[in-house]
């Protein structure tokens, strides 16, 4: 397996700490609001990574955190506490907010066929571990106290800026966030916060009553479940300059060495070219896809057609095309399975060779820094080949252990991809003010046996029943 390691800035051959075992830590959600499909992009990619390792015969231990305390609206220790903001917004307690959005996150994961991590660890359930780790960092001389709390002293870790290739002085000069004047350097960060007595979630500690900084939870929990040296740490590319840079510094402060050997970062799923966010109002949830008649696995398919380091531009038409592709693969499996006779024959030498070549190509792609666009192309080459249907189906289902598309579902009431593509086209035409052409799309959809209903909540599609 080859992986692009942010630490070395190159594609490295993966060498596990222990042969046959892989420990992976993924930065998980901050559960203060809904997780949208932009967030889910990362989790689909890392789930697929786990699947590749498992398929290759490794024992995988996948750990993911749930941030339910200490994450400020800015990644740099400033702004409001995200959890408290969520609680104020909805008139719920911080604990209820955490519960509500952890549930929403897990339900979205399930719908996208993302395996549950072996350990899903909540920050608030690991306060003693975080205190212990901070104590170690303090004992090693990597911290100092300010009015705000206990701060990590980055000057003690000379390679602080290396991981993300930061120009710290330039960054600090351009920063608009107010600087804690007690800090020796603007980029020194809080390990434990003590100056917010009104903070709802708080615990006793050697530095006073308070709560942990955001970054310490990931170091504390990754090391607890995977050891002081483990294989892979994943996150979004936005984690490089602050969160992961600080995690690496904390690891060095506590253990004097790197905790994870490979750091993997995904690029983003953007919506019509813009980052998905609540403030822009363009955040789409998995449940929104379902409401529009899509199978969430179409999104999984769409994500797999992108490389995790390139990201993807999500549009409704690209999702509709992905649904058509998924429908085709799914229907193929369903149809072959429903054949009454098993027409399986010994494959000819020529076809056997061809199938072997497809298998090799697929495995080579997924092991080459997860080149899934290539792997998906191989799937279609195999589908278009003269290999008999039964053998195609067997191969497809074997690959599906990695793809996770749950192929072979009976989906009688699903809206066909063709209808969804027409719907997406209609939507675009309407945006452009081309109402006559848009109405043409509606009539085409009706010919296919589906009826559109426009409502304030968007367009709904219903099957025209045989009788009426």
Binding site for Zn ion (CB under 5 A): 27, 218
Closer to Zn ion by Cβ: residue 42 or 131: 42
Closer to Zn ion by Cβ: residue 3 or 218: 218
Selection from 18, 209, 44, 35 nearest residue 131 by Cα:
209
Least distance from Zn ion to the Cβ atom of residue 14, Å: 21
- Tokens 């929990």 locate to 221
Distance of alpha carbon 331 from the chain centroid: 28
156 labeled binding residue: no
Cα separations (Å) of 411 from 7, 109, 335, 399? Answer: 45, 20, 12, 21
User: Which H or E element spans position 149?
Assistant: strand 149-152
* Cβ neighbours of residue 19 closer than 8 Å, sequence gap 6 or more: none
Selection from 60, 63, 62 nearest residue 20 by Cα:
60
The span from the CA of 183 to the CA of 414, in Å, is 58
85 labeled binding residue: no
27 labeled binding residue: yes
Least distance from Zn ion to the Cβ atom of residue 33, Å: 17
- Tokens 């998906």 locate to 376
451 labeled binding residue: no
Least distance from Zn ion to the Cβ atom of residue 129, Å: 14
Least distance from Zn ion to the Cβ atom of residue 364, Å: 32
Closer to Zn ion by Cβ: residue 234 or 367: 234
**Longest alpha-carbon distance in the chain:** 79
Closer to Zn ion by Cβ: residue 189 or 271: 189
Closer to Zn ion by Cβ: residue 3 or 66: 66
Selection from 173, 158, 165, 212 nearest residue 189 by Cα:
212
Name the token pair of 432. Answer: 């452009």
Closer to Zn ion by Cβ: residue 41 or 358: 41
Phi first, then psi: give them for residue 424, nearest 5 degrees. Answer: -65, -40
Least distance from Zn ion to the Cβ atom of residue 219, Å: 8
Whether residue 417 contacts residue 324, with contact meaning beta carbons closer than 8 Å, is answered with yes
* Cβ neighbours of residue 441 closer than 8 Å, sequence gap 6 or more: 422, 423, 425, 426, 429
Phi first, then psi: give them for residue 251, nearest 5 degrees. Answer: -60, -45
Closer to Zn ion by Cβ: residue 260 or 299: 260
Closer to Zn ion by Cβ: residue 28 or 404: 28
The span from the CA of 146 to the CA of 157, in Å, is 19
Least distance from Zn ion to the Cβ atom of residue 413, Å: 40
Least distance from Zn ion to the Cβ atom of residue 67, Å: 7
129 labeled binding residue: no
Least distance from Zn ion to the Cβ atom of residue 168, Å: 21
Torsion angle of alpha carbons 300, 303, 307, 311, nearest 10°? -140
Binding site members: 27, 218, 243, 247, 278
Binding site members for Zn(2+): 27, 218, 243, 247
Binding site members for ATP: 278
């Amino acid at each position: 397996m080859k992986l692009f390691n942010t630490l070395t800035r190159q594609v490295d051959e993966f060498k596990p700490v222990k042969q046959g075992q892989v420990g992976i830590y993924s930065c998980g959600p901050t559960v203060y609001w809904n997780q949208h499909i932009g967030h889910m992009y990362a989790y689909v990619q890392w789930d697929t990574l786990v699947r590749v390792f498992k398929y290759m015969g490794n024992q995988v231990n996948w750990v993911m955190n749930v941030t339910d305390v200490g994450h400020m609206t800015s990644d740099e220790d400033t702004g409001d506490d995200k959890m408290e903001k969520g609680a104020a917004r909805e008139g719920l307690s911080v604990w209820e907010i955490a519960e509500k959005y952890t549930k929403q996150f897990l339900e979205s994961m399930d719908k996208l066929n993302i395996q549950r991590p072996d350990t899903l660890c909540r920050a608030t359930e690991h306060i003693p571990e975080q205190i212990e780790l901070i104590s170690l960092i303090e004992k090693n001389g990597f911290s100092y106290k300010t009015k705000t709390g206990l701060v990590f002293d980055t000057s003690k870790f000379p390679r602080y800026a290396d991981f993300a290739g930061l120009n710290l002085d330039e960054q600090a000069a351009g920063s608009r966030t107010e600087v804690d004047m007690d800090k020796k350097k603007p980029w020194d960060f809080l390990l434990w916060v003590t100056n917010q007595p009104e903070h709802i979630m708080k615990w006793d500690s050697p530095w006073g009553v308070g709560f942990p900084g955001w970054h310490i939870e990931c170091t504390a929990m990754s090391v607890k479940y995977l050891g002081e040296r483990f294989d892979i740490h994943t996150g979004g590319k936005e984690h490089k300059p602050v969160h992961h840079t600080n995690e690496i510094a904390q690891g060095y402060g506590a253990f004097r060495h790197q905790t994870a050997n490979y750091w993997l970062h995904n690029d983003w799923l953007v919506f019509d070219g813009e980052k998905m966010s609540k403030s822009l109002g363009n955040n789409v949830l998995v449940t929104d896809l379902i409401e529009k008649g899509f199978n969430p696995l179409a999104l999984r398919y769409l994500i797999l057609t992108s490389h995790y380091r390139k990201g993807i531009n999500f549009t409704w038409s690209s999702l509709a095309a992905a649904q058509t592709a998924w429908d085709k693969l799914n229907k193929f499996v369903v149809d072959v399975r429903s054949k009454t006779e098993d027409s399986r024959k010994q494959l000819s030498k020529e076809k056997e060779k061809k199938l072997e070549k497809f298998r090799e190509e697929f495995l080579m792609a997924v092991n080459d820094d997860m080149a899934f666009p290539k792997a998906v192309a191989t799937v279609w080459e195999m589908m278009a080949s003269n290999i008999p249907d039964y053998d195609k189906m067997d191969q497809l289902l074997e690959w599906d252990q990695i793809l996770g598309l749950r192929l072979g579902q009976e989906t009688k009431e699903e809206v066909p991809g063709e209808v969804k593509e027409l719907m997406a086209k209609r939507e675009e035409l309407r945006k452009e003010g081309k109402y006559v052409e848009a109405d043409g799309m509606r009539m085409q959809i009706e010919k296919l046996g589906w009826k559109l209903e426009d409502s304030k909540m968007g367009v709904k599609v219903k099957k025209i029943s045989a009788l009426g």
